[in-house]
């Protein structure tokens, strides 16, 4: 039978229902107070003098709360502490304690070198499309800025890298991007990226950017390969020409120096010879003024002697006749040399002997012609 039916028993508050009146609320509150007093050691005398459990529970909870506040920070890490959501302090390596729930601790590995890959198609300064893949090496320079200033550091780094790379490539020609200027492109991109991250207050330090691949799109790769090969051939030919130039120029300079020295020697020789001839002519003029006839004959004889020493055959016309006199000087010299081979005769004596032979022959020929005229 339900408690609220006529003739029911006890009501749900623990009291007896007498009649149809409402339940006894005072009785219900009294029983609830007795149950609570049991846990606190009071009540109707059953837990009097016993150990109170509530302080023990509170103490245990306090100890656990305090132990949970200890944490260790490594040498490569820094801990950023927020107290009630507001920045409080940054701790270095060591053992630290912060009240749990009140403080929020974020540990960041600051010296660890991290890598962020990036790849994309972009337009160069000369309106060519190039595909570049690179890796950004970075670390955390300021843990506070890294935790608080940027909501998604990796996303911000990706966007800043793409912006910096497109800015640098857009102001660089294709040849420098894919060949000779790749290192400079990497340096300029790293500088531009660091400026952007500093402007954001990201706390990120860019260590280095490595351009792993820089090439034209695959659709035109064959044509660009031919261009690169032609450029390499050009560079090779330029190097070979430079090497040839380095070898031929010193040789040409040495030859030019030799020719200058020879010309200088020839000039000195001509000048000296001319000076001597001029001096000889001056002295000869003085002698000619003293004795013109003798000097004239002497000059004639010297000229004849000089001509004779350079001639091996002489044809002479005789006065008053039609015959030509033939003088084979080479044969005469050869005969004279054979006759005088074993004798010590000077060249002047040999010339005098030859001249005497010639004069005698001329005299005999002249006498024969005069005898024929008398007949």
Return the CATH class of domain 117-136+148-216.
Answer: alpha beta
Tens digits of pLDDT across the chain (375 residues): 444 444 444 554 444 444 455 556 667 666 666 665 555 555 444 444 444 677 777 787 877 877 777 877 778 888 888 888 788 888 877 787 777 888 788 888 888 888 889 888 888 888 888 888 899 999 888 888 888 888 888 888 999 999 999 999 888 888 788 877 888 888 999 999 999 998 888 888 999 999 888 888 777 777 777 877 887 889 899 999 998 888 888 888 888 999 999 999 999 999 998 888 888 888 888 888 888 888 888 888 888 777 767 766 666 666 655 666 666 666 766 666 665 554 544 456 666 676 677 667 766 766 776 676 666
Q: What is the dihedral of CA 118, 116, 161, 143, to 10 degrees?
A: 170
Structure tokens at 233: 């051939």
Phi, psi at residue 10, to the nearest 5°?
Answer: -75, 145
Q: What are the CA-CA distances from residue 266 to residues 153, 161, 260 (Å)?
A: 85, 75, 10
Q: What are the CA-CA distances from residue 95 to residues 75, 88, 257, 298 (Å)?
A: 11, 17, 83, 127
Q: What are the boundaries of each domain within the chain?
A: 65-109, 117-136+148-216, 309-374
pTM score, two decimals? 0.45
């Amino acid at each position: 039978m339900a408690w609220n039916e006529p003739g029911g028993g006890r009501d749900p508050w623990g009291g007896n229902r007498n009649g149809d009146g409402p339940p006894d609320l005072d009785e219900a509150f009294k029983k609830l107070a007795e149950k609570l007093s049991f846990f606190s050691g009071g009540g109707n005398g059953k837990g009097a003098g016993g150990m109170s459990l509530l302080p023990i529970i509170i103490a245990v909870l306090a100890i656990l709360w305090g132990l949970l506040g200890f944490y260790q920070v490594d040498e490569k890490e820094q801990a950023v502490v927020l107290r009630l959501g507001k920045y409080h302090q940054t701790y270095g390596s060591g053992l630290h304690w912060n009240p749990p729930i009140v403080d929020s601790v974020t540990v960041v590995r600051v010296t660890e070198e991290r890598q962020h890959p990036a790849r994309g198609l972009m337009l160069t300064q000369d309106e060519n499309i190039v595909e570049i893949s690179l890796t950004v090496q970075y670390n955390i320079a300021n843990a506070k800025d890294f935790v608080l200033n940027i909501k998604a550091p990796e996303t911000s780094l990706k966007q800043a890298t793409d912006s910096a790379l497109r800015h640098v490539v857009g102001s660089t020609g294709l040849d420098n991007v894919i060949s000779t200027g790749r290192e400079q492109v990497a340096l300029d991109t790293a500088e531009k990226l660091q400026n952007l991250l500093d402007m954001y207050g990201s706390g990120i330090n860019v260590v280095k950017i490595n351009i792993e691949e820089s090439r034209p799109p695959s659709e035109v790769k064959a044509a660009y390969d031919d261009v690169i090969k032609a450029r390499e051939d050009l560079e090779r030919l330029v190097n070979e020409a430079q090497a040839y130039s380095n070898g031929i120029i010193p040789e040409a300079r040495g030859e030019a120096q030799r020719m200058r020295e020879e010309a200088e020697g020839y000039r000195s020789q001509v000048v000296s010879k001319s000076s001597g001839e001029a001096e000889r002519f001056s002295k000869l003029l003085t002698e000619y003024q003293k004795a013109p006839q003798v000097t004239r004959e002497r000059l004639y004889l010297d000229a004849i002697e000089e001509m004779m020493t350079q001639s091996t055959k002489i044809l002479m016309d005789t006065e008053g006749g039609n015959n030509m006199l033939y003088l084979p000087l080479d044969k005469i010299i050869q005969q004279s040399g054979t006759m005088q081979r074993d004798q010590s005769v000077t060249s002047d004596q040999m010339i005098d002997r030859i001249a005497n032979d010639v004069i005698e022959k001329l005299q005999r020929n002249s006498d024969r012609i005069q005898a024929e005229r008398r007949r």
